[in-house]
Amino acid sequence: MAIEERRMDRMIGTVAHVFDWISNGPWQRHRQDEGIADFTFGNPQEMPLPGLVDALQRHAVPRDKDWFAYKFSEGEPRRVVVDSLRGRTGIEFRPEDVAMTTGAFGALGVTIRALCDVGDEVIFLSPPWFFYELMIASSGATPVRVRLAAPTFDLDPDAIAAAITPRTRAIIVNSPNNPSGRIYRAPELAALGEVLTDASKRHGRPIILISDESYNRIVFDDIDFRSPAQDYGATMTIYTYGKTLLAPGQRIGYAAMSPTFPDRETTAFKLMVQQLAAGWGFPNALLQYAIGDLEGLSVDIAALQARRDRMVAALRAMGYEVTRPDGTFYLMARSPDPDDMAFTERLAELGTLVLPGTIVECPGWFRISLTASDEMVERGLEAFRTAAG
316 has pLDDT over 60? yes
pLDDT band at 15, cuts 50/70/90?
Answer: confident
pLDDT band at 26, cuts 50/70/90?
Answer: very high
What is the C-alpha separation between 214 and 266, in angstroms, rounded? Answer: 25
The whole-number average pLDDT for the span 7-14 is: 81
pLDDT of residue 3: 59
364: left (phi over 0), alpha (psi -120 to 50) or beta: left
pLDDT band at 10, cuts 50/70/90?
Answer: confident
Q: How far is CA 153 from CA 119, 149, 176, 183, 365, in A?
A: 29, 5, 12, 10, 13
Compute φ and ψ for 344, nearest 5 degrees. -70, -25
Bridge partners, residue 145, by sequence: 124
pLDDT 10s digits, 155-190: 999 999 999 999 999 999 999 999 999 999 999 999
57 has pLDDT over 90? yes
Pairing of strands 168-174, 121-126: parallel
What is the C-alpha separation between 256 and 268, in angstroms, rounded? Answer: 9
pLDDT band at 9, cuts 50/70/90?
Answer: confident
Among the listed residues 306, 305, 252, the one whose alpha carbon sits nearest the alpha carbon of residue 281: 252
What is the C-alpha separation between 254 and 244, in angstroms, rounded? Answer: 14
Burial of 20 (0-12, 13-18, 19+ CB in 10 A): exposed
1 has pLDDT over 60? no
The whole-number average pLDDT for the span 219-234 is: 97
pLDDT of residue 7: 74
Which pTM was predicted? 0.96
Pairing of strands 330-334, 121-126: unpaired
